[in-house]
């Protein structure tokens, strides 16, 4: 979840940066009008799919990522999860479906901090974006006092963990690009320069890689990826990783 943003005070930046994933043309027009008409919102990009959003998330680390989860593609859930993993420092808001218990649970399972129904009033969407940009967690508040929903969330997480344990965690193409640079002995700054991103973005991706693979450092991440056949690394390269 994104760290709380201080939006008050003389030196505070009141602007909230967003990346918006909205594949539905008609609804997208309405969302665009709402966001573009809000003075303190700065939309970095409007895209159709989570995959198209990744370069913008990598390059800008937006305060908020807004995703319409009614994506008309077969792997919408998986691609949305990958986008969430690639934006660990952005508040993630899902939009779409109904404002019911199943939608709330689905939003939590996607890693969101807020859910906005497709038919919500514009003021609700704007207010939700401002809340999450300030570090609030509306979904957590909705779950408090609802043990029935908490039970469903726990059951879903348990099923996910069991499923993940049966197969190796796959890395995204961007994560593999970064890990390949690391395997060659490049430091974070050098990786950032080579791949055209910020050093902080490299660090964020590596943290995600460590979490996915269940390892503690760069050397073990490279070793894991090599054993899985994702990287082609010789002994000299592994020594270079240790020195980096």
Beta pairing partners, 208: none
Q: Which helix (H) or strand (E) holds 66?
A: strand 64-68
CATH 1.10.10.10 corresponds to the domain 173-243: yes
The separation between the first and the last C-alpha atoms of the chain, rounded to the nearest angstrom, is 29
CA–CA separation, 199 and 179 (whole Å): 14
CA–CA separation, 99 and 14 (whole Å): 29
Instruction: Give CA separation, 9 vs 5, 12, 81, 131, in Å.
Output: 11, 5, 35, 17
Q: What is the pLDDT tens value at each position of the chain, 244 positions in all? A: 444 444 433 335 589 999 999 887 656 678 899 999 999 999 999 998 888 888 888 888 899 999 987 654 444 667 788 788 888 889 999 987 666 777 777 788 788 999 998 788 999 999 999 999 999 999 888 888 788 878 877 776 666 655 555 556 678 889 999 999 999 989 999 999 999 999 989 988 998 888 788 777 888 888 888 888 888 766 544 444 544 5
220: number of CA atoms within 13 Å, CB side? 10
Beta pairing partners, 43: 18
- pLDDT of the residue at 135: 92
- pLDDT of the residue at 5: 44
Q: Which fold has domain 16-149?
A: Rossmann fold (3.40.50)
The ranges assigned to domains in the chain are: 16-149, 173-243
Structure tokens at 84: 């969430």
Structure tokens at 136: 């609030």
Rounded to two decimals, what is the model's pTM? 0.60
- pLDDT of the residue at 9: 34
């Amino acid at each position: 979840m994104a760290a709380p943003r201080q939006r008050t005070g003389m030196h505070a930046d009141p602007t909230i940066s967003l990346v918006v994933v909205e594949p539905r043309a008609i609804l997208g027009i309405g969302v665009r009008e709402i966001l573009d008409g809000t003075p303190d919102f700065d939309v970095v990009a409007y895209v159709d799919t989570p995959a198209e959003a990744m370069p913008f998330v990598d390059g800008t680390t937006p305060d908020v990522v807004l995703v319409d989860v009614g994506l008309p593609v077969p792997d919408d859930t998986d691609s949305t999860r990958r986008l969430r993993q690639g934006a660990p420092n952005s508040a993630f808001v899902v939009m779409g479906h109904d404002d019911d218990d199943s939608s709330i649970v689905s939003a939590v399972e996607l890693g969101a901090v807020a859910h906005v129904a497709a038919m919500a009033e514009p003021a609700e969407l704007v207010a939700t974006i401002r809340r999450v940009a300030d570090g609030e967690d509306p979904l957590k508040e909705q779950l408090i006092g609802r043990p029935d929903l908490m039970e469903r969330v726990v059951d879903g997480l348990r099923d996910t963990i069991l499923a993940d344990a049966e197969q190796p965690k796959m890395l995204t193409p961007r994560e593999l690009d970064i890990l390949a640079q690391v395997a060659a002995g490049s430091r974070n700054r050098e990786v950032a320069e080579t791949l055209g991103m910020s050093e902080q973005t490299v660090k964020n991706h590596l943290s995600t890689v460590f979490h996915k693979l269940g390892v503690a450092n760069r050397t073990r991440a490279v070793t894991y990826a090599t054993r899985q056949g994702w990287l082609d690394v010789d002994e000299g390269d592994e020594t270079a990783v240790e020195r980096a």
